[in-house]
Structure 1
Amino acid sequence: MKNWFNRNTVHFAIIGIFIVICFVYFAPAWQGKVLIQSDVTQAQAMQKEIMDFKAADGKAPLWTNSMFGGMPSYQIWVSYPKNIGTHIMAGIKGIFPYPIDIVLLYLLGAYLLLNVLGVKPWLAAVGALAFAFTSYNFIYIEAGHANQAYAIALLAPVVAGVLWCLRGKHLLGASVLALSLALEIRVNHIQVTYYLFIALLILVGIELYHAIKGKKVADFLKSIGFMVIATIIAIAVNAGLLWTTYEYQKHSIRGKSNITSEDRGSEQHGVSRDYAYQWSQGVGESITFLIPDAYGGGSNDKIDPNSNVAKVLSSKGIDVSQVPPNYFPNYWGDKPFTSGPWYFGVIVVFLFILGLFIVKGRIKWWILAATLLSIFLSWGKNFSLISDLFFDYFPMYNKFRAVESNLVIAAFLVPILAILAVHELINNRKGIDKLDKKILYSLAIVGGISFIVWALPDLFLNFQTSNHQQWVQGISQSVQDNGFGQSLGNALVQDRADIARHDAFRSLIFVLLAGGVVWLFAKDKLKAPVVVAALGVLILIDLWGVDNRYLNKNSFVEKSQAQQYFFKPREVDNLILMDKTPDYRVLDLTVDPFQNATPSYFHKNVGGYHAAKLMRYNELIERQFSRSINEDVLDMLNTRYVITNNKAGTSQSIQKRDQAAGNAWFVDRVTFVKNNEEEMHALDSFDPKKEAFIHEEFKRQLDEKRLGRSTNASIELTSYRPDHLIYEYSAPNDVMAVFSEIWYDKGWKAFVDGTEIPILRADYVLRAAQLPGGNHKVEFKFEPSSYFMGENISLVASIVLVLSLAAAIWLENRKKSVVSPTVK
């Protein structure tokens, strides 16, 4: 043990430094403060009903009625207690407060990968900092995209396991791959995992080429075999999560549409192209990789009191402090809005380009190919030649939106090659042909771009949005002063140019300093440790300064303050909550009802927010609520209250809807429809209490001869738990009951006095059942086999994973020394 500790002293020291850096940057988190994040707030609102039941009986329901009438809760929050990844992530979060845990994972994962690549510890630590402090790694945290941030943090360990396998350390590599991939999948941001898969396909292709060329196909296939086994274990560990997600996505907006959508134009699989490409990185905007605010920074930056816009406003007596942050946006790219730039670091980009000149071997070509592909794909609609090929033909690619997220791969790989360049420089300086020229070329490319933007900012950049003139005209019309509107437009363009010039000069200084360090080392004027330390300090200062613009101490507040700020009930909420009748719904029109989950914190919400809502419900929204609100559909959804604003938007009022159909009711007649289009059209005008529309596909599951009228019949919800509903009813004859619960056939079961009966779909999205006459109890239970069987598979696979990892560690410790594989 003592020898093991002595061998790893440097690693422990570096980890300690990582913790200190996180402590300094995130001091408020150590003090118990929390981030104010809109996406986290939305998530808390979505989860409220789930967490209330979990707190009451220790068991979280698998279904929630808090959004969109109802949906599986495992698309919002679920524990998966038999998954080892659940407990590992809980342990990490228990030791380190959020978001320190994420940043430490960034650092440790990249540090592991660079050590696997043969980089010495202190230089690997610099590389870890370069990756961890890439701007969007912090912007994702600030925005509340925690799952995405965790997934990014686990990219490096997955690649480390793959490389160990490919370099012959099969058991250790497979074990690390299985563990890291299991965690990668468990944090549940499949989009990031999918982009990593594309990058790894390129790596495997390159390795196969070299295996064939070197006549080592057998060794390659052996490595692939271990990787396949590791992947199977990782997938099995997450069987519950993946099975339920796969099952659900086919019925969500990521799956096939049921009818021809008025918005989409035709039936399709996956999200629409426009929806997927809405957040496409601009081709020119990629200059932010080395000049952070060349495109203005974020959409919500406040007006600088010393800016040109502020001066124009002040000349008209307008108080700048009262102007909303996004009214005069510094950001001028084509995305609808953005939280900030994709800044890799000007020093990192300089070293990356140098790496293209001096690093040898297939790792460089993999990094270059994967980086370029991720950039091309991030351009989306701005480079449809490649994007459309992937969207149309690459499996599952059209399931994901916000294609700019492809840049997580570039942001991960660019720092890796940058550090490999320094590694090559330190270890093979005299063997690099024409090193002086290669350093100068790299410096000229990055420094030259920075210099041009600083000296002549409008040479390539116009600092105007595509709708700039319309914006100017709108301002002019609102104040009835064309001159004033034009002055504001000109001032805004000048401010954007000044911001770009400032950051271009900043980048120029940093790249000249870093270039000077590298040049002095090439001339044997500096020692390697000094170079590593100097580059580490410069990179950290550079990236820290940009990150601090978007995530800083002012982003944190006391826990109590955050809770009260977002979830303080209004008078209308308190009045509605006085109604203790179970399972009625609320439509809140004071917010965008189908893009905001906040009302779900207090009520069972007709609307909500989710990136993968059920397709049928989404189609109901498009057809019955997009132009005007269909009151009949509100009735069938048991919408008892509607919240509205007054004309000034200063107060809210409640509309109580006594005509809401209730939790369940008996209909007098059933009308069969031939297709989904006809079923949707039938909802345009009908009385849901009297008539139910049922698709012909369910016709054989009921007995038409037993369809009686509901005279003197009654039904009541007597016990409510989202995934277990109990009704009691009395009917003199067989009846058709419709329930104001959302239909989903992957797990719901219905029972009359303990005997299972079929569940039918009525009125496009609701559940219905044919019930026998008499006095009976009806139960609905949500028991998806995908979850319960998946959990059992997870348990077995988790045990296998732990045993294989223990065996790999034991075998490694038997060796007297560990020899790191070199970069090829």
Structure 2
Amino acid sequence: MNNWLKANGIHLAIIGFFIIICFVYFSPVLQGKAPAQSDVLQAKATATEIMQYKEKDGKGPLWTNQMFGGMPTYQIWVQHPLNVATYVINFIKAVLPDPVDAVLLYLLGAYLLFCVLKVNPWLAAAGAIAFAFTSYNFIILAPGHSNKALAIAFCPPIIAGVILTLRGRYWLGASLTALFLAVEIRSNHIQMTYYLMIALLIFIGIEVYHAYKDKKLAGFGRAIAFLAVAMMLSFMVNASKLWTTYEYGQESNRGKSNLTTDAAEEKNGLSKEYAYGWSQGVGESFTFLIPNLYGGSSGTRLDDKSNVFKAASGIGLAPDQALGLTQQMPVYWGEKSITSGPYYFGAIICFLFVFGLFIVKSRFKWWILSVTILFMLLSFGKNFPLISDLFFEYFPLYNKFRAVESILAMVGLMVPILAIIAVKEAYTAGLDQKYLIKRLTWSAAITGGFTLLVALMPTALFSFTNSGNQQLLEGLTQAFQNNNGLAQSIIDALIKDRADLARTDALRTLLFIAIAYALIWAFLTKKMTVHVAVILLGAAILIDMWQIDRRYLNNDNFATKSDLKDYFKPREVDSFISADTDPDFRVLDLSISTFQDASASAFHKTIGGYHAAKLKRFQELIDNQFTKSINQDALDMLNTKYIITQDPQTQSVKMTRNPTAAGHAWIVPSVQIVKDADQEMQAISSFDPKKEAIVDQQYEKLIDTKNVGADPTASIKLDSYHPDHLVYSYSAPRDIIVVFSEIYYDKGWNMYVDNVKKPYFRADYVLRAAQLEAGNHKVEFKFEPVSYYLGEKISLVGSVLLIAALAFAVYSENKKKKLAV
């Protein structure tokens, strides 16, 4: 034990340091506080029904009616009890508070990668800090993108596992790759996993070339075989997660369009406009080096020391009016509609990255450079569509993802890797001292020279205006009673403030480049030991990144847990509606942004809500029946029992009951068969849902219209409600057509009549319907997705195999060590 501690003491010390800096940065968690993350709070609202039934049943349902009329819970909250990765993530979250868990995983995963790259432990720690504290990795924690954070955190150890496998440590490398990839997939942010896979494909492609060139294809082929098995194993472990996601994806707004008459509707995947909604500005990429070059976040506000305030005061505005105007001025001047902050990779890291381009000779550099260039071009989206459009149109699955700028998260890993390898090469590769100092000076001249130009003459390089500048000028002109001169004076002051922010950060960047240059020069010229220089360099990197991250994630982002628990407080109308004992009805809340706000889901089953991947048919229903005006017939068929509105003048909220809501299920006297989805959508634009059902002709064979009809004595009612299991009873002297006010999803919902499985069909574009035989019978709808239940069994097999592989890898490594001794 003492020998083990001695051998690993430095690693334990570094891990201990990582833990300390995480808790220092997030010190409010030690006071019992938690991050007030908007997306997490919204997610909790959407999961209200799931958690209620989880507490009641001991397990969460796979379907919820809490938003958009009803949808699978696959992308909201689902248990995967037979997946070993579930227990890994649960253990992490049980031991570490949020968001300490994500940042510590950033650090540990990157540290493992740098150690696998045979970097000195202290330099590896500096590299881990550089990656972990990249601004984007902290910015996403503020709103609560924890799944994305975990997915990013597991990218470095996956790469480490791949490298170990290619080096010939087949069992250890492959089993670690399988483990980390399994947890990566279980983190449930497929977009980040997808970007990682593209990066690894490029890496493998470069390795194939060199294996062929060096005539080492046999060993390389064996490594690839191990990695292929590792990937299959990670897929098996996540079989239910991947299967349900794929299945649901075909029916979600990432899938094919059902309509052909809407020219704006994307036929497959997301619309380009939606996917490119957040595209990185080409010039904005300089924020990698100078964080406030484009003004920081959309929430950045000027104060009474600003030029705008002085200009507003100078034209006669009172101090409070001048300050009010000042704080309304947009400091961020990029083209994104809104941004939480820049992608800042660090002044020191960018400087060392350029240094690495000069001195690193290994093929690793070419992989990093290839990925960096490609991913930067893809991040530009609509701002440089040449490459993005090729991927969007032809690369598999690429058009399923939005916010293309987020691919820069992978660049935020690539840049520190090359930067740290450069430092390693500087003192281990035996390169000539003069050669290294010359390249170091070139790197400082490139990065420092650019920042110096920005500091000295920012407006000569950048305009500090965007496409909204004219609109802003017109708005100010109107506010100043058509005095364009006064308005222009405010705009000029705003441009000066933006330039001042850029200048200040440029000088800051220049300082850190100078520090890094001095430290590298000192150990190259033997003025300082490498060990001391590396520790000081790591400290400088931490200070640099820490200061910028605090702009976007700090103590102000935390609140007491009691406040967060009761974040959504019921209004009087909410309490009144909640007192209704009817187990299954819907609410339309027009007092909020109905289809972009999850707050109503905290209290009601709503036809609105918020989710990035809702059912495609329901999205089409929203677009065609609720966007321009509210279709009362569509409200009725969805059993919308209550409507909440807000007076625009007084802001008072009131509730009205909808007397024409169709109920849980109803018998229709007639059926209108239509040719396709276009006609179906058109038909429900004006119809009486209680008198007829609109049915696509593909289901015509399930209906015998000659043997059905309305009868005043026939009836159907809902006897019991569970999100996964609905029970009805009906009585009818003859066959009937019944429409159920439940969302149609045939990838799991089964209908049983007296415990015998029977067919059902879709009606009214989004609802379930069935022809039921005469008599007194029980009807049940059960949500039984094969993709989940069979997938879980596959997950169990994969989990057992993964654990066995890890155990054998540990055994093999220990055996090798004993033989070596």
TM-score range, shorter chain: over 0.9
Matches of 2:244 and 2:221 in 1, distance apart? 32
Contact 1:299 1:326 in 2 (8 A): no
For residue 487 of structure 2, what is the aligned residue in structure 1? 485
- Label 1:230 to 1:325 Cα distance change in 2 as closer, same or farther (>3 A): farther
- Label 1:175 to 1:486 Cα distance change in 2 as closer, same or farther (>3 A): same
The TM-score normalised by the length of structure 1 is 0.97
SS of 1:749 mapped into structure 2: strand
Matches of 1:417 and 1:289 in 2, distance apart? 15
SS of 1:319 mapped into structure 2: helix
Does 1:536 pair with 2:538?
A: yes
- Label 1:168 to 1:324 Cα distance change in 2 as closer, same or farther (>3 A): farther
Superposed counterparts of 1:194-343, under 5 Å: 194-260=194-260, 262=262, 265=264, 268-313=267-312, 315-317=316-318, 319=320, 323=324, 327-343=328-344
For residue 58 of structure 1, what is the aligned residue in structure 2? 58
Q: Which amino acid aligns with 1:508?
A: L
- Label 1:488 to 1:510 Cα distance change in 2 as closer, same or farther (>3 A): same
Contact 2:18 2:107 in 1 (8 A): yes
Deviations 1:329-354 (A, max 9, x none): 21110111100000000100000110
Deviations 1:116-146 (A, max 9, x none): 0110111101110010000000001012111
For residue 131 of structure 1, what is the aligned residue in structure 2? 131
For residue 153 of structure 1, what is the aligned residue in structure 2? 153
Q: Which amino acid aligns with 1:229?
A: V
Question: Which range is displaced more, 469-478 or 384-393?
Answer: 469-478
Deviation at 1:218, TM superposition (A): 1.1
Q: Which amino acid aligns with 1:290?
A: L
The TM-score normalised by the length of structure 2 is 0.97
Deviation at 1:640, TM superposition (A): 1.2
Contact 1:280 1:380 in 2 (8 A): yes
Matches of 1:59 and 1:520 in 2, distance apart? 61
SS of 2:727 mapped into structure 1: strand
Matches of 1:261 and 1:13 in 2, distance apart? 64
Contact 1:667 1:710 in 2 (8 A): no
Question: Which range is displaced more, 513-522 or 20-29?
Answer: 513-522
- Label 1:479 to 1:720 Cα distance change in 2 as closer, same or farther (>3 A): farther
Deviation at 1:429, TM superposition (A): 5.0
Superposed counterparts of 1:403-482, under 5 Å: 403-431=404-432, 434-482=435-483
Matches of 2:753 and 2:312 in 1, distance apart? 70
Superposed counterparts of 1:469-618, under 5 Å: 469-482=470-483, 483-564=485-566, 566-618=567-619
Unaligned runs of 5+ in 2: none
Q: Which amino acid aligns with 2:602?
A: Y
Matches of 1:322 and 1:713 in 2, distance apart? 69
Question: Which range is displaced more, 424-433 or 554-563?
Answer: 424-433
Contact 2:244 2:787 in 1 (8 A): yes
For residue 677 of structure 2, what is the aligned residue in structure 1? 676
Unaligned runs of 5+ in 1: 820-824
SS of 1:557 mapped into structure 2: strand
SS of 2:458 mapped into structure 1: coil
Matches of 2:304 and 2:728 in 1, distance apart? 63
Matches of 2:809 and 2:321 in 1, distance apart? 62
Q: Which amino acid aligns with 2:90?
A: A
Superposed counterparts of 1:358-377, under 5 Å: 358-377=359-378
Matches of 2:356 and 2:168 in 1, distance apart? 26
Matches of 1:677 and 1:182 in 2, distance apart? 41
- Label 1:818 to 1:713 Cα distance change in 2 as closer, same or farther (>3 A): farther
Q: Which amino acid aligns with 2:411?
A: A
Q: Which amino acid aligns with 1:435?
A: L
Matches of 2:322 and 2:542 in 1, distance apart? 33
Matches of 1:750 and 1:324 in 2, distance apart? 61
Deviations 1:256-313 (A, max 9, x none): 1011263x53552110111111100000000000000100000012332322233345
Matches of 2:534 and 2:768 in 1, distance apart? 65
Matches of 1:497 and 1:648 in 2, distance apart? 40
Matches of 1:320 and 1:64 in 2, distance apart? 49
Matches of 1:68 and 1:351 in 2, distance apart? 50
- Label 1:287 to 1:773 Cα distance change in 2 as closer, same or farther (>3 A): same
SS of 1:75 mapped into structure 2: coil
Contact 1:665 1:738 in 2 (8 A): yes
For residue 76 of structure 2, what is the aligned residue in structure 1? 76
CA-atom RMSD in angstroms: 1.6
Deviation at 1:478, TM superposition (A): 3.7
Contact 1:107 1:128 in 2 (8 A): yes
Q: Which amino acid aligns with 1:410?
A: V
Q: Which amino acid aligns with 2:296?
A: G
Contact 2:295 2:502 in 1 (8 A): yes
Matches of 2:800 and 2:5 in 1, distance apart? 28
Superposed counterparts of 1:341-360, under 5 Å: 341-360=342-361
SS of 2:328 mapped into structure 1: coil
Q: Which amino acid aligns with 1:341?
A: P
SS of 1:725 mapped into structure 2: strand
- Label 1:403 to 1:601 Cα distance change in 2 as closer, same or farther (>3 A): same
For residue 722 of structure 2, what is the aligned residue in structure 1? 721
SS of 1:141 mapped into structure 2: coil
SS of 1:294 mapped into structure 2: helix
Does 1:656 pair with 2:657?
A: yes
Deviation at 1:424, TM superposition (A): 0.7
Matches of 2:599 and 2:266 in 1, distance apart? 31
SS of 2:414 mapped into structure 1: helix
For residue 822 of structure 1, what is the aligned residue in structure 2? none
Deviation at 1:395, TM superposition (A): 0.5
Contact 2:157 2:180 in 1 (8 A): yes
Contact 2:433 2:525 in 1 (8 A): no
- Label 1:17 to 1:703 Cα distance change in 2 as closer, same or farther (>3 A): same
Matches of 1:9 and 1:150 in 2, distance apart? 27
Q: Which amino acid aligns with 2:368?
A: I
For residue 165 of structure 1, what is the aligned residue in structure 2? 165
Contact 2:708 2:737 in 1 (8 A): yes
Matches of 2:689 and 2:398 in 1, distance apart? 40
Contact 1:300 1:325 in 2 (8 A): no
Question: Which range is displaced more, 705-714 or 328-337?
Answer: 705-714
Matches of 1:96 and 1:320 in 2, distance apart? 46
Instruction: Count residues with an aligned counterpart.
Output: 817
- Label 1:325 to 1:612 Cα distance change in 2 as closer, same or farther (>3 A): farther
Superposed counterparts of 1:184-199, under 5 Å: 184-199=184-199
SS of 2:604 mapped into structure 1: coil
Moved over 6 A (4+): none
Question: Which range is displaced more, 591-600 or 320-329?
Answer: 320-329
- Label 1:738 to 1:313 Cα distance change in 2 as closer, same or farther (>3 A): farther
Contact 1:45 1:601 in 2 (8 A): yes
- Label 1:798 to 1:350 Cα distance change in 2 as closer, same or farther (>3 A): same
Deviations 1:629-678 (A, max 9, x none): 11110110111111111122622111211111111111110011111101
Matches of 2:740 and 2:605 in 1, distance apart? 15
Matches of 2:139 and 2:266 in 1, distance apart? 36
Deviation at 1:323, TM superposition (A): 4.6
Question: Which range is displaced more, 665-674 or 466-475?
Answer: 466-475
